[in-house]
Amino acid sequence: MSQTFDLFWSFRSPYSYLLTPRIVDLCRDHDVICNVRIVYPIAVRHADFFAQADPLWAPYLVKDTYRTAEFLGLPYRWPRPDPVVMDPATRTYPAAQPHIHRLSHLGVAAAEQGRGLAFIDQVSALIWNGHTDNWHEGNHLANAAARADLDLADLDAKIAADPAHYISQVETNQADQRKRGHYGVPLMVLNGEPFFGQDRFDQLKWRLEQKAVL
């Protein structure tokens, strides 16, 4: 019998990107199903979050994400453009967020078609692997969606027909994320037990082994 776990995940999170290939391998090699739950990044949920953060937070994030990518053998660079638009003068984030809102709603639409994991795998690589500037232009997103066996125009059309539904789904995911015990991403939840952070993946596997799933 398949074992399902929830994955609360954000397109702006480098750690979400760095985790995703391992989740893909896990689900490919074992009878495990990942239920992708897209959330908005903390910068969108709390626009002044980074303005109030300790000044050591951002430099360590940069060092750690590059180190983690090197350790995992994954290509990595901060996206160009950033999926979240920031006001550099105030280090706050305006309500209008054309990239992250579209990406998040596309992720929800893909998950509803049963292709959520494939979609976040392809699109996060496009955004974060450093090979593509202006990932939001031209055919880049359409090609990534196609690699996930999805049609970008079809996903966009579904969202345009009922935008409130996709906003509501993200908000539901965010509420459920907190109910599961954390607010950050990536958050894996197996049978109600939360595993926060890409560095908890091995503990998730250990728990699955205990349940004789792996």
* pLDDT single digits (tens) 79-136: 999 999 988 777 778 888 999 999 999 999 999 999 999 999 999 999 999 999 999 9
Cβ(38)–Cβ(104) under 8 Å?
yes
Question: What is the band of 212 on the pLDDT scale with cuts at 50, 70, 90?
Answer: confident
What is the Cα–Cα distance from 126 to 24, expressed in whole angstroms? 16
pLDDT tens column, 150-192: 999 999 999 999 999 999 999 999 999 999 999 999 999 999 9
Considering its fold, how many domains does the chain have in total?
Answer: 1
pLDDT above 90 for 54: no
HSE-up (13 A, CA, CB side) for residue 176: 20
As a whole number, the mean pLDDT across the chain is: 95
Instruction: Give percent of the chain above pLDDT 90.
Output: 84
Position 147 scores a pLDDT of 98
Q: Average pLDDT in the 183-212 region?
A: 96
Position 28 scores a pLDDT of 97
Q: Quote the domain boundaries for residue 138.
A: 3-210
Position 142 scores a pLDDT of 98
176: phi then psi, degrees, rounded to nearest 5: -65, -35
Q: Is 13 an active-site residue?
A: yes
Which CATH number do you get for residue 183? 3.40.30.10
What is the Cα–Cα distance from 212 to 167, expressed in whole angstroms? 37
Asked whether the CA dihedral 160, 161, 165, 169 is positive or negative, the reply is: negative
pLDDT tens column, 63-81: 999 999 999 999 999 999 9
User: Residue 197's closest CA among 182, 208, 186, 212?
Assistant: 186
Of these residues, 2, 10, 13, 168, which one is catalytic? 13
Q: Average pLDDT in the 42-54 region?
A: 79
